[in-house]
């Protein structure tokens, strides 16, 4: 019990350096996660694709700025500050955005198109994501996806689950 509490406190202290508010914006030293994609990122990605992921870490909500959800074929890459999640779209998805609502996007450790899923952990660097999912709640006509996200990260204290919400623009590439 004491070891688990200590591990939780270390995670909070690592993710909240200098933050005094209940809703903190996650601050990371970039290790280039977002730039390690298969092929070039879409040029001129509009500001309308930007969004955020809010994760609850030990009772504190942390905001992670997101760049875009890039879809190529049946693969996706969710990129942002300190986060790169890759995976596959639902098998029945045929490019019709209306059919994506209610579906699950599977986050995988490594996707053949976009590479590894990773999360920057302060003081540790890039940590592998072992898997997860995004439950799509809504896709707007402007191709903005909103949903619930959960994934696990292999860090220095073992596998840690993270859960929250995300909203981001979708780019077909």
DSSP letter (8 states) at residue 11: H
Provide the whole-model pTM. 0.74
pLDDT digits (tens, 9 = 90+) for 68-80: 999 998 899 999 9
The residues, ordered by sequence, that sit 6+ positions from 155 with a Cβ below 8 Å of its Cβ are 11, 121, 124, 127
Give the strand pairing for 83-88 and 24-25.
unpaired
Would you report the helix, strand and coil content of the chain in percent, each value rounded to 5? 15, 50, 35
Gyration radius from the chain CA atoms: 16
Give the strand pairing for 60-72 and 158-172.
parallel
pLDDT digits (tens, 9 = 90+) for 34-79: 433 334 444 445 558 899 999 988 888 989 999 999 999 889 999 9
């Amino acid at each position: 019990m004491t070891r688990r509490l200590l591990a939780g406190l270390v995670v909070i202290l690592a993710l909240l350096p200098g933050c005094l508010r209940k809703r903190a914006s996650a601050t990371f030293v970039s290790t280039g996660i977002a730039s390690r994609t298969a092929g070039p990122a879409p040029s001129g990605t509009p500001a309308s694709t930007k969004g955020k992921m809010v994760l609850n870490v030990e009772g504190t909500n942390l905001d992670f700025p997101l760049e875009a959800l890039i879809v190529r074929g049946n693969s996706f890459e969710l990129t942002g500050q300190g986060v790169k999640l890759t995976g596959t779209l639902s098998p029945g998805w045929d490019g019709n955005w209306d059919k994506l609502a209610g579906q699950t996007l599977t986050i995988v450790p490594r996707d053949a198109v976009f590479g590894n899923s990773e999360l920057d952990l302060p003081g540790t660097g890039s940590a592998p994501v072992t898997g997860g999912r995004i439950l799509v709640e809504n896709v707007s006509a402007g191709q903005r996806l909103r949903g619930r996200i959960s994934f696990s990260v292999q860090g220095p204290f073992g596998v840690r689950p993270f859960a929250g919400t995300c909203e981001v623009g979708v780019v077909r590439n």
